[in-house]
């Protein structure tokens, strides 16, 4: 979707687990263009994956 200011934004349908949010992942991201939006989404999913990997190794 495009905001009134012309920025694109995306929101995950399912929230991240609390531990992932605490690690810095954001459910909603925005960017100036589609490439930037895809990069922002990938960055948040990367944070989530790293956090999940960390939790699995701590068990």
Tell me: the pLDDT tens digits for 37-51? 999 999 999 999 888
Nearest to 41 by CA among 6, 8, 2: 8
**Which residues are within 8 A (CB) of 17 and not within 5 positions of it... i.e. 6 or more apart?**
none
pLDDT for residue 42: 96
SS3 content of the chain, % helix, strand, coil (to 5): 50, 15, 35
* Confidence band, pLDDT 50/70/90 cuts, at residue 53: low
**Cα 12 to the center of its chain, rounded Å:** 8
Distances (CA, A) of 28 to 10, 16, 42, 59: 6, 11, 12, 29
């Amino acid at each position: 979707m495009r905001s009134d200011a012309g920025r694109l934004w995306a929101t995950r349908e399912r929230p991240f687990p609390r531990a992932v949010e605490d690690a810095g992942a954001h459910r909603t991201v925005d960017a100036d263009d589609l490439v930037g939006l895809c990069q922002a989404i990938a960055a948040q999913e990367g944070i989530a994956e790293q956090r999940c990997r960390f939790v699995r190794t701590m068990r």
